[in-house]
Structure 1
């Protein structure tokens, strides 16, 4: 397959969710509305609130190149970090609050959808303070987007393992690499998307789920891969937020290559593997528990394999697209970092082992989140 066969790279965009924390205690702080207001003159619509007041969100514009994406991510993080500092707080990229921040309903963000969710899911949302990163890949054809989701489903547990960055939750070690994935897994409307033969079948299922009240709105499903309801993109939502911008960029490049590879197969008439929902759910759970460099369920084969072996298989699967867009070095460097220093979850636990207080874990995350910050990067 020749590089030029891929044409121009589709644009990508990223959304990142962060916790706000007190610099002395490391405890999550309910100040999202104030921090977004502070950030607005610098960031405009690139900054917004999130599900709880403990969080803020930053988003990029569509980007063709990964160096452009990296610059935008750094700029948005710097703007949010400066706004947080003006409120006496810090910006922290972790999938769950390391210390405090129980996500109680009194601390919900100011959005009608959040209040509707609290009415519908009740106590299930009492500790739903979780932070993710979402990658958007331009794909304007919604029918193709649904078929691409069929191809992506088996690889989603590996994305959970590679991005795992939430071992601690409200002051305790959960024993998991991605506790955020466990919290999300209890909801009937979150997790891997269904296998769907067509856009019409996908929409019928979403409508039926909304009728049962398992989903808020059929037009806005929260599955981990979805045609975005408002944008001409395919959105991948399975990952914990990452503290290292370079890791976020590399995973976005990998996801774009995976989407493009899947779109080519769908266009050739390949409907995608029919990985069973039960096996896929088991693969998610194992990835959330063991993360990287643990073993996980290789959903395409059903075998239990090391995460590193699964990653090499994925790399081979998407290598032509990576090479076509000049992103192979970005992704291979990320895999080397995983081998040398571990995932975000491993680094959090290593910090605790070196200095046995959870505040040290938060301080390390804050430094990684925005190393350009003049105080935290010193």
Structure 2
């Protein structure tokens, strides 16, 4: 690589989707519109409804420093948690509903895009009450953003494994670490983006998919990496929502370093590895099934490796950017937490083992999402 200096840190932002929980039944509750209406005016631009009424979404402004991002995440979560409590409900960061909440079509949110999606995909959306966290990295050049996405594609399975937080769905253990990823995988317009020769190539494929009705709008693809259609950012969308704010901050820092490293390579004329779509899809499936505690497919080589070994390779790959931005300690601490306590999926299963029942799993998630005293 010709240029080892990643330059000043680009701003970052986060979107988080949450479930609303009835504290008596621990089931997901259809009250998104009412909860959003309860949020104070100072946070009105930072919250919204989501695809189903079982969900709400929080958004941070752009931040340069991780401490600022952490503060914004805590502020938005606290506002949503207080609004949920005013409706007799709780806020929960889990990729899928642990108990109940089928995301049925009668509970779809009011946005016209959600209604159009239900018309287009029909019964495929009947259980689509799934919650993600999206990381945004400032990158206003869409051509560079698309080519940067080529470099990010092989790392998406590892991001799935690190953030897996949806082992239970509607009262049963799925056997997967990220059942949210499995639900998303059924859609032709979700998952890893295709390799793109250029922005024109990317847009041509999106247009063809929209014409085939596999995608709603060509200007708004829902691939796991995309130039955001409304913001000057590259958006990474592969991750389950995480219950702990510190983990969300650390993963966002890792993604920023990965984007900055890829941007350098694009500037040096490297269009990115041509990882095959079939192998990448298989790697994402394996990551969703086995999560952090298992082995995963390294999409760059095809080798099956422990997730921890892949993470060590990723950190080494982006270490210059992490150090330049002062983020290395945050990421190191996150990997240590993964090593000691596992991912969200493993912690959910540990709570079930400790009992009593799935209600304890939901209670633990609610407490981690917004600890008492932080509302």
Q: Say yes or no: TM over 0.5.
A: yes
Matched with 2:190 is: 190
Q: 2:238 maps to what in 1?
A: 238
**Distance in structure 1 (CA, Å) of the matches to 2:194 and 2:300:** 15
- Report matched runs for 1:156-167 at 5 Å: 156-167=156-167
Tell me what 1:336 maps to. 336
Q: Give SS of 1:269's match.
A: coil
> What is the alpha-carbon distance in structure 2 between the residues aligned to residue 89 and residue 38 of structure 1?
12
CA distance in 1, matches of 2:255, 2:281: 20
Match of 2:178 in 1: 178
Q: Could you tell me how far apart the structure 2 residues matched to 1:81 and 1:118 are?
A: 28
Give the whole-Å Cα distance in 2 for the aligned partners of 1:130 and 1:86.
23
CA distance in 1, matches of 2:89, 2:40: 17
Residue number in structure 2 paired with 1:350: 350
Give the TM-score taking structure 2 as reference length: 0.98
Measured against aligned partners, the alpha-carbon deviations of 1:111-137 in whole angstroms (never above 9, x if no partner) come to 000000000000000001100000000
Q: In the aligned structure 1, how far is the partner of 2:10 from the partner of 2:192? A: 23
Matched residue SS, 2:305: strand
The answer on whether the counterparts of 2:4 and 2:320 sit within 8 Å (CA) in structure 1 is: no
Give a deviation string over 1:328-361, Cα, whole Å, max 9, x none: 0000000000000000000000000001411100
Which residue in 2 is equivalent to 1:136? 136
- Cα distance in 1 for partners of 2:320, 2:167 equals 34
* CA displacement at 1:7 relative to structure 2: 2.1
Q: Give 1:374 shift.
A: 6.3
| Superposed displacement of residue 42, structure 1 | 3.8
RMSD of the TM alignment (CA)? 1.3
How far the C-alpha of 1:24 sits from its partner, in A, is 1.7
Aligned length: 375
Can you give the 5+ residue segments of structure 2 that lack an aligned partner in the other structure?
Answer: none
Return 5+ residue gaps in structure 1 as ranges.
none
Instruction: Look up the match of 1:78.
Output: 78
Cα distance, 1:2 vs structure 2:
12
Alpha-carbon separation, structure 1, partners of 2:162 and 2:5: 29
In the alignment, the residues of structure 2 paired with residue 137 and residue 329 of structure 1 have an alpha-carbon distance, to the nearest angstrom, of 20
Rounded Cα–Cα distance in structure 2 between residues aligned with 1:372 and 1:6: 39
Q: Is the 8 A contact 1:22 1:28 kept in 2?
A: yes
Q: What is the TM-score with the length of structure 1 in the denominator?
A: 0.98
Q: 1:226 maps to which residue?
A: 226
